[in-house]
Chains A and B, each alone.
Chain A
Amino acid sequence: MTRELSYVGKPIPRADAIDKVTGSASYTHDLCLPGMLHTALVLSPHASARIVAIDSQNAEALPGVRAVLTGRGLCYQLGLYMQDKCILARDVVRYQGEAVVAIAADTLDIAKAACQLVEVQYDLLPTVLDPREAMDASAHLVHPDLHTYEHMEGVFFPKAHTNIAHHQKIRKGSFDQAFEGADSTLTASFYNPPVQHVPMETHVSVAQALPGKRMEIWTSSQSPYTVRHLMSVCFDLPHAHVRVHVPYVGGGFGGKAGLGLEPLAYVLSRAAGGRPVKVAATREQEFNTLPSRQGLHSTIEIGASRDGKIVALKSTYVWDAGAYADYGVNIGRAAAYSGAGPYSIDNCWIDSFVVYTNKIFGTAYRGFGHLEILWGIERAMDLMARRLGMDPAEFRRRNLLKDGDTTITGEAFTSGHGNPLQCLESVAEAIDWGTPSEPSVDSYKVRGKGLAMLHKAPAMPTYTSCAVVIKLDEDGGGDILVSGVDYGQGTYTVLRQIAAEELRIPIEKIHITWECDTAFSPYDWQTVASRFAYMGGNAVIQAAADCLEQIRSVASQALNVAPEDLDFEDGVVFPKSDPTRGIPYSKLTLGYTFANGNSIGGPIIGHGRFIAKGLTHLDPETGQGLPAQYWTYGAHAVEIEVDTQTGEIEILNIVTALDAGKVLNPKLCIGQVVGGVVQGLGSALWEGFVFDAKGRFLNAGFVDYKIPTAKDIPRHMQQILLENPQPGGPYGARGVAEHPMISVPSAIGNALYDALGIEFNTLPLNYERILTRIKEKVEPS
């Protein structure tokens, strides 16, 4: 008999909302410790230069200055996947905006004034800005010592004495032969510029070096345990000597995964005699000092049969890693194993190169490379469909993965993966696909429709794990301890729902503290990859079961009933045969006391854990293996209106379908979809870094870099959440938080062709680009 769910699947409001609407939610941004120092940075004005000399004497002499650091004394190499980064630039600068000197002082004003007194002498070096040119044998090497860098062995393959930090290959079937034999072929190239995450809270860390080789860190991070681990390894301290607190976090979107400003805050504190030091990025530094999303040049080659079956697909991805590629290498890897889209391709060849350049470096950003690769793939699918004279939806229908197919890495696709075809059909129906748009009321505006598929799996190490502890309280409630971070996704609320469901107690009695503290919260790898609800949810189910077993054991003795004859409901354990003899949990959570005073049991603390199952490294030559714990599929369909006088696009309607497996909380899930779609609009229509010929970043701030505002949202947004359950997922759920952003640009690009008859292969689709192309079409030069 299936028990009716009380909390899972219900629109439970966020538990953190009350702190956030009252201003009492405390972020690292708000933290002020006694004696805390503030930090300002001297940034490199050059994209590539040797540091000849740094004169900081005058800065050091300024009253109130407590520490002045340069890269010279900081001989550390940092990184999670690829240890290629210094704390401050050492000997050379590799991008404009790189931090060269850091000064901690009593006040921020003093620190800034001191920075003005520092003189840095540079000798300019050659600059390499285009990653395709950076692959040339003669190109300037951004990292001449790449061959000496430590990295995750067997997973990443840096090429010595080149700018290639990683090359991931996928080889399946025989591409060349199939491509040559195809009835119709297509080759097309696409470009995504680097963009910024733009969390509303910029990166900020506070660190204090403590006596006895210990440190304490408060940081706006997605990764408390990864920060702890990397700090411990970097500074050669026992893990338990590094205590990391993560209070409320003001947005992350991947940009706060791994290490950020923590090492710098720590070395400054050490240099300042152990005073706590805050390093808070300005908004400008958030753009031009801290990492971005990588740029991507992609070339897609497709061979298809006359009847619309793809027989061969080749993708070449050249990632613009920028100056460092710690995370970039893993994005390059994920892009390869996802690199053919959600399609069944027998003959596939993918090369994904992660290439150093002298630009701001890249990192994880919501979707982890998939928005970028699917910009190319999903535009190419439309191009190929037209070449075949076939409807783009029908062409996709004939190629989508279905039960019995294998993915490009050799994974068997089953119905447990979800249903990409149902996603496609859902959005096509909702947008009335096949029926042309109604003409605009304005004669100078034209309309069009487009659609695009999306897919993504969590990109994570094969051993990714997490743990959950549930402590039961005197009142029969429970506290969940986790160190995955809820920086807005709503995962903590979902974990509370699952705990309440499993423990059979009212949700009001389940609590999660909005501060992770590695001293008390159990291990979690890091909060990325849309994996927290899946892995944390499974760990909560196990921890709750552990609690119930402990309750069962004590209650069985208290009631003199066999353990298997007990059941649980509404915070009470009772004999199945006589529910009236129940004992409330509150009489058991600390131990049970008999009438004569004898006591049994003791405080109940449950433990649950989860580790990724069955994942393998990918074969270095063919990419075959199992990279994904689960896949999430989806689709968008859009209807747009283009102003041919200005190039402005208005989104009339965007429909998104995602196969969530099980919607754990519809309100929060729709919140993720709407937020993701609008963030995707930013990538589609406005966002992109602009550099000059010398590698100087020209739009590093909100004045020149526009993100979507309330004025820019679509007229209509519709969300369709499908529930084809994920085997092994908590209640059948799979991750969905990153996915809504992916393929938003692709669908809009496809709709633009429908509206204008012009192919756009470069993002963003801003007014200037569109208007220029419209004018070219009207008056060919």
Chain B
Amino acid sequence: MHTIRFTVNGHVEQATVPATMTLLDLLRDRLALTGTKEGCGIGECGACTVLLNGNPITSCLMLAVEADGSDIETIEGEAIGGELSVLQQAFIDEGATQCGFCTPGMIMSARGLLNRIPDPSHEEIIEAIAGNLCRCTGYEAIISAIQLAAARLSQDIGSRDAQEGRAR
């Protein structure tokens, strides 16, 4: 067993975990952060995507012990104080969710993209979500939602997201 310390959505966490535990299981089973989904368990579908130090990763492929000392963001941290982020609102406005099972991972991949590139091109958006499978939407509305979020963020630098420093 190993004791690790890390932050999740800004909260400091400590856990004692077996070496074989994945970050995904740590989040879901220990920390009850079930917004992060498991769709395949082998890093192929992207449903388990979270941000590790700002970058999207598939949490089913990372061992919990590897997350020691890191800063993790999950879908539960995306809305703050019950207020949706610009990205979340754009997903609603564009109809970018159907069954919703891929949505948390999709939003985290999009969040990682907007952190890196505030005004992504169509190709950059597709590249960013190419590892996130969605069987319902046909992706078009998801791409539009990310474009809409980027546009709204660039127009509204006083927005909450900008204040939070989340679309650097």
Do A and B assemble together? yes
- Residues on A facing B (Cβ under 8 Å): 13-14, 16-27, 29-30, 32, 197-202, 248-253, 282-283, 487-490, 667-668, 670-671, 674-679, 701-703, 707-711, 713, 717
Contacts of B110-168 to chain A: CB distance below 8 A: 125-127, 129-143
Q: Is A22 a contact of B92 with CB atoms below 8 Å?
A: no
- Smallest CB separation, B164 vs chain A (Å): 16
- Contact with B91, one of A17, A701, A711 (Cβ below 8 angstroms): A17
Q: A488 — which chain B residues lie within 8 A by C-beta?
A: 98-100, 136
- Sample of 11 further A-B pairs with CB below 8 A, known A21-B100, A674-B141: A13-B92, A13-B95, A16-B97, A20-B103, A22-B88, A200-B135, A201-B37, A250-B37, A702-B45, A709-B130, A713-B138
Q: Tell me if A677 and B138 are in contact (CB < 8 A).
A: yes
Closest 6 A-B residue pairs measured CB to CB? Answer: A23-B35, A250-B101, A20-B100, A678-B138, A488-B99, A488-B98
Are B140's CB and A713's CB within 8 A?
yes
Cβ–Cβ < 8 Å partners of A25 in chain B:
100
B104 / chain A contacts, CB cutoff of 8 Å: 23
Which residues 1-51 in B have Cβ within 8 Å of A in the complex? 28-29, 33-42, 44-45, 47
Q: How far is the CA of A713 from the CA of B133 in the complex (A)?
A: 12
Contact status B84-A22, CB under 8 Å: yes
Contact check, A249 vs B99: say whether CB atoms are below 8 A apart: yes
| In the complex, B74 has a CB within 8 A of chain A | yes
| Contacting pair B41 A671 (CB below 8 A) | no
Contacts of A675 in B (CB 8 A): 98, 135-138
Q: Decide if B66 is an interface residue (CB 8 Å cutoff).
A: no
Nearest CB of A to B29, in Å: 8
A678 adjacent to B75 (CB under 8 Å): no
A-B contact pairs, 16 of them (CB 8 A): A14-B95, A21-B97, A21-B103, A22-B35, A22-B75, A22-B78, A197-B135, A248-B99, A251-B101, A252-B99, A487-B99, A674-B138, A703-B42, A708-B138, A709-B131, A710-B126
Contact between B99 and A710 (Cβ–Cβ < 8 Å)? Answer: no
Q: Give the CA-CA distance A27 to B39 in the complex, in Å.
A: 12
B149 to chain A, nearest CB (A): 11
Total B residues in contact with A, Cβ cutoff 8 Å = 53
Q: Which residue from chain B places its CB closest to the CB of A109 in the assembled complex? A: B20
* Contact between chains at B98 and A671 (CB < 8 Å): yes
Decide if A199 touches B75 in the complex (CB within 8 Å): no
- Interchain nearest-CB distance for B106 vs A (Å): 9
Known A-B contacts A675-B98, A707-B135, A710-B129; the reply to A702 vs B40 at CB < 8 A is yes
Known: A21-B91, A22-B76. A30 touches B34 (CB 8 A): yes
Q: Are B100's CB and A248's CB within 8 A? A: yes
When chains A and B are docked, how far (Å) is the Cα of A667 from the Cα of B137?
Answer: 12
Query: Separation in Å of the A68 CB from the closest CB of chain B?
Result: 24
B57: CB under 8 A from chain A? no
Determine the chain B residues whose CB is within 8 A of the CB of A710 once the complex forms: 125-126, 129-130, 132, 134, 139, 142-143
Given A251-B99, A282-B41, A702-B40, decide whether A679 and B126 contact each other with a Cβ distance below 8 A: no
- Give Cα A253–Cα B78 distance, bound, in whole angstroms: 29
Tell me the complex Cα distance, A196–B143, Å.
25
Known A14-B95, A677-B138; contact A200-B34, beta-carbon cutoff 8 A: no
Which among B102, B131, B133 has the highest number of chain A CB atoms within 10 Å? B133
Chain B residues with CB below 8 A from A16, complex form: 97, 100
